[in-house]
């Protein structure tokens, strides 16, 4: 039931059938009576029993559709998603009846989690609820099966276009694919607008002002305070990001010409090696230091040692085993999707799944034999080990302490994929000395620091949309206004008001909150610093690997086992000793690179 799509927890995967009425909980007969604490406990027991009974087949339907996109699987997935989400919403409304009942803290927390558990809340009207589920399924299908066609005989999938944009240095080709993929999202816009309208009706029925407020209440703090916390964290990172942006823009301008990349404007989005300009690692060769850097080529090492997809996953599993975690079950290897299936469409978006809330762990990937994918595999397994750690908690506690924790765990592990680790597992023979660290740190920053403002702005856009603060004809304009404000990135061409460029990013049509990724990119460095301290590492933070440290593994597992049973601030304290999220570990991790960037930028005009 518990599934992570591209490392994403999708709450709608948890639910139960619409044929069960709210009255089945026994509350209907007591509406006029005084509800008690025992009534609340009985209600929660009923909810958990129904979810566990019907959630498993619903998860299997979702898995079947994700790995085999066709009409029949779409119908089954949409039908069960409707039933599950509608009943979750009904139970959420029922939970509100206990708002004034005196209950213990544990019961109160579960009731609150039940009320806020949906990403998209269906209204009580069955026709609208059915329509909401159908739209969700259709949007996911449109994205998963999307292609750009030059002509009748030459079409490209997102995977193919992304692979070409990663290596191409031809602005015309990159612009063609950039534009082509955004044609896929145009038909989504009308459906998305309708989805927002229906979802807001459901949110109001749950007692929220709109879906935006529903999303912002999930973080153990007042909804209006949460955005302020994000602004505080971004403020810690922003100076370093602006230094990185300044260097990258200058180097791209030198390569493509100032007429293509002006030195006083945002960077054109199609030139950064990624379909969404969300990470910039693929332009490393254009922006790397002039001096020769001995940076391990993991892609080459994998090829030279004949790593196939399974062996790559086995190696990632061995990292967790070295920390003291039990090996993955046999069913993981039998049921996961490691390669794109032949002869059918599938969602290649990397994701980690637990289909029975116990041990049916799986990943879904179309693995490419690259160093980047090697990291992604470690990331996805982080989700699986987190899912297994909290499997014995009450169902409403089986999840991430906050949405950023789940994403951060795998990335924390990936930070330990250092030259030391690569040597320990035999992928490289020698560890480059510290004079090579600038190259390594620049590579990491191009992926992780470049991502942070994108991770922030997606939901900055969506919260305004879901709150009805922006009209559909302004959707695209707001999207690019925010990208300019936070990222210093701009559309390479004028965009029509009919365009729906947000829909070209999976998480928008899939209705998956994106703030989790922003938080994860902050938390992973904070977690890494804490684990390195526990492991007793004496190396610089960017050189530390916790591979083989049972002490670090025990400390990590202690936090993972808490799930969401306590506020995330307590889970944070368990590992780091502090209840606060803090981006200062980023400064420590990238300290040598910041000095180098400042030197490169001495005579440059920065900002946009």
Positions annotated as catalytic residues are 349-350, 379-380, 383, 407, 507, 517
Token pair 């139970």 is at which residue?
91
Backbone φ, ψ for residue 206 (5° rounding)? -85, -5
Burial class, 569, CB count within 10 angstroms (exposed 0-12 / middle 13-18 / buried 19+) = middle
All residues at 6 or more sequence positions from 597 whose CB lies less than 8 Å from its CB, including other chains: 243, 244, 246, 247
> How much is the CA Rg of the chain, to the nearest whole Å?
24
d(CA 167, CA 150): 20
DSSP letter assigned to residue 485: I
Query: Any residues with CB less than 8 A from the CB of 241 and at least 6 apart, and which?
Result: 449, 450, 452, 453
Which single residue is written with the structure tokens 């997809």?
Answer: 309
Crossing angle for the helix pair 71-95 and 105-115, to the nearest 10 degrees: 140
CB within 8 A of 394, min separation 6: which ones? 44, 48, 110, 565
CA–CA distances in Å: residue 585 to residues 374, 426, 522, 529, 538: 24, 29, 8, 7, 16
State residue 147 phi and psi, 5-degree precision.
-145, 155
SS3 of 268, please?
Answer: strand
Contacts (Cβ under 8 Å, ≥6 apart) of 603: none
Strand partners, 351: 5, 364
**DSSP assignment letter at 337:** B
């Amino acid at each position: 039931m518990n599934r992570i799509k591209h490392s994403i927890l999708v709450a709608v995967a948890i639910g139960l059938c619409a044929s069960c009425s709210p009255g089945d909980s026994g509350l209907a007969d007591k509406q006029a009576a005084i509800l008690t604490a025992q009534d609340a406990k009985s209600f929660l027991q009923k909810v958990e029993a129904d979810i566990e009974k019907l959630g498993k087949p619903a998860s299997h339907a979702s898995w079947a559709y994700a790995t085999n996109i066709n009409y029949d699987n779409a119908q089954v997935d949409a039908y069960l998603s409707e039933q599950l989400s509608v009943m979750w919403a009904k139970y959420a409304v029922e939970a509100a009846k206990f708002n004034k009942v005196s209950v213990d803290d544990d019961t109160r927390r579960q009731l609150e989690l039940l009320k806020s558990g949906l990403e998209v809340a269906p209204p009580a009207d069955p026709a609208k609820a059915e329509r909401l589920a159908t739209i969700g399924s259709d949007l996911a299908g449109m994205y998963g099966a999307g292609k750009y066609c030059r002509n009748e005989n030459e079409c490209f999938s997102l995977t193919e276009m992304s692979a070409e944009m990663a290596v191409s240095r031809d602005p015309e080709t990159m612009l063609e694919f950039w534009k082509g993929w955004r044609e896929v999202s145009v038909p989504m816009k009308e459906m998305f607008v309708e989805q927002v309208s229906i979802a807001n009706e459901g949110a109001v029925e749950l007692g929220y002002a709109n879906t935006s407020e529903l999303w912002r209440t999930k973080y153990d703090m007042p909804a209006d305070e949460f955005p302020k916390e994000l602004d505080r964290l971004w403020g810690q990172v922003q100076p370093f990001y602006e230094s990185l942006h300044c260097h990258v823009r200058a180097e791209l301008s030198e390569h493509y010409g100032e007429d293509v990349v002006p030195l006083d404007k945002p960077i054109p989005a199609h030139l950064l090696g990624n379909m969404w300009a969300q990470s910039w690692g693929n332009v490393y060769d254009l922006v790397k230091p002039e001096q020769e850097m001995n940076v391990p080529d993991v892609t080459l090492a994998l090829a030279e040692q004949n790593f196939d997809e399974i062996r790559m996953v086995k190696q990632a599993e061995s990292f967790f085993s070295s920390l003291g975690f039990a090996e993955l079950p046999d069913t993981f290897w039998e049921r996961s999707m490691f390669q794109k299936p032949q002869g059918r469409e599938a969602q290649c978006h990397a994701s980690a799944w637990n289909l029975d809330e116990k041990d049916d762990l799986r990943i879904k990937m179309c693995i490419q034999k690259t160093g980047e994918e090697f990291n992604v595999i470690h990331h996805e397994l982080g989700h699986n080990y987190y899912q297994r750690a909290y499997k014995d908690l009450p169902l409403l506690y089986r999840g991430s302490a906050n949405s950023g924790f789940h994403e951060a765990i795998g990335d924390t592990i990936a930070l330990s994929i250092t030259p030391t680790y690569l040597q320990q597992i035999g992928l490289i023979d020698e560890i480059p000395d510290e004079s090579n660290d600038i190259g390594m740190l620049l590579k990491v920053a191009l992926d992780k620091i470049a991502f942070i403002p994108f991770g922030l702005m997606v939901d900055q856009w969506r919260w305004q949309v879901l709150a009805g603060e922006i009209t559909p004809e302004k959707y695209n304009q707001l999207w690019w206004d925010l990208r300019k404000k936070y990222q210093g990135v701009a559309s390479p061409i004028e965009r029509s008001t009919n365009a729906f460029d947000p829909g070209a990013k999976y998480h928008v049509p899939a209705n998956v909150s994106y703030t989790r990724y922003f938080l994860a990119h902050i938390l992973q460095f904070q977690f890494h610093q804490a684990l390195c301290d526990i492991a007793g590492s004496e190396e610089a933070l960017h050189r530390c690997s916790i591979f083989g440290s049972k002490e670090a593994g025990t400390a990590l597992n202690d936090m993972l086992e808490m799930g969401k049973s306590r506020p995330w601030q307590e889970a944070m304290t368990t590992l780091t000793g502090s209840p606060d999220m803090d981006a200062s570990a980023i400064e420590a991790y990238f300290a040598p690179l910041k000095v180098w960037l400042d030197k490169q930028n001495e005579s440059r005009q920065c900002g946009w």
